[in-house]
Amino acid sequence: MASNLVQGAVFTVMVVRAGMLRDPAFDSQLAEQIRRSPRFFLNAPVVLDLKGAAEFTRESEFAEAKEILHHHTLSLIGVQNATPPQLEAAAGAGLASFAPNAPQPSQGPLREPTRRAPAVAAAATKTRLVTQPVRSGTQIYARGADLVVTAAVSPGAEIIADGNIHVYGALRGRALAGAGGDVDARIFCSRLEAELVSIAGRYLVSEQLPAEQQGFPVQIALVDERLTVTRN
C-alpha cells in the first residue's frame, strides 16, 4: 500500500523571470493577459526563475513576490536556477525547488564524442503515437519523445512532449512541446483552434494566436525567444 502513496504526474506550470517583477510595465502587461484569458490564469501555479538575479536572498523578498502574483490570481509555488542562499530563503518562505527547464552548459573542457553518442541521439527521437481523439480532461505526455496524434484534440485536453508535437486533426486543447527545455521543438497541426500552445516554457493563449492563422494548418516554432505561427 505504501508504494501507492506517491505517484508521478505532469502539470502545466508558468515560469516568471525574477527581473520581470521589477519591470514597471510587468503589472499592466500581466493584467492585460489575465483580462484576455481569466480562466487560464485563475489560481495558476508559478515558478520564479532566479537565473542571474542577485536579490531574493531574504524570505521577505519572496513574500513580496507572492503578494504581487497573488494580486493577479497567481500562486507562487517554487523557484528554479537558485543559488544556495536563495534556496535557503525560498525554503524558509515555503517554496519548493524546481529543476531548470533546460540543461545548463558544461563548464568543463569539451570531450571527443564517444561511440555511445548515436544511441543517445536515437533515444531522443522516439515517437509516441495516439490514434484516438484526445478528449476533454485527458493529459498525454510523451516523455523523451515526439508525440503524433492522428485525431482531434478536444478543448480541455492537454498534450505534452519533450520533442515535437504533430496533430493530424483539429488542435482545440493545449499543446506543450519541448517540455524538457528543447527550444528547437515545434508544433504542427492540421487545424489551429488551440486554447494554449507552448514551446520550452514560452506560451501563447488562444487570444494571442494570430487571427489569420486560426482554422488553418500551421507550424509553431520558437524564434528569438518568441513563438511564431506560420501556415503550412
Q: Which of 10, 157, 30, 186 is nearest to 98 (CA)?
A: 10
Spatial separation of the C-alpha atoms in residues 210 and 118, rounded to whole Å:
39
Q: Which of 98, 58, 55, 54 is nearest to 76 (CA)?
A: 98
pLDDT (tens digit per residue) in 160-215: 999 999 999 999 999 999 988 899 999 999 999 998 899 988 888 888 899 999 99
Paired sense of beta strands 196-199 and 202-205, if any: antiparallel
* CATH assignment, 10-98: 3.30.70.260
Helices 59-71, 84-92: crossing angle, 10 deg rounding:
60
Q: Which residue shows C-alpha cell 515545434?
A: 186
What CATH architecture is 126-231?
A: 3 Solenoid (2.160)
Please report, to the nearest 10 degrees, the dihedral formed by the alpha carbons of residues 169, 162, 176, 225 taken in order. -120
pLDDT (tens digit per residue) in 21-45: 888 888 888 888 777 767 677 788 8
pTM of the entire predicted model: 0.60
Tell me the three cell numbers of residue 111.
570531450
Domain with CATH 2.160.20.70 in the chain: 126-231
Spatial separation of the C-alpha atoms in residues 29 and 27, rounded to whole Å:
6
pLDDT (tens digit per residue) in 135-149: 998 999 998 999 999
Domain with CATH 3.30.70.260 in the chain: 10-98
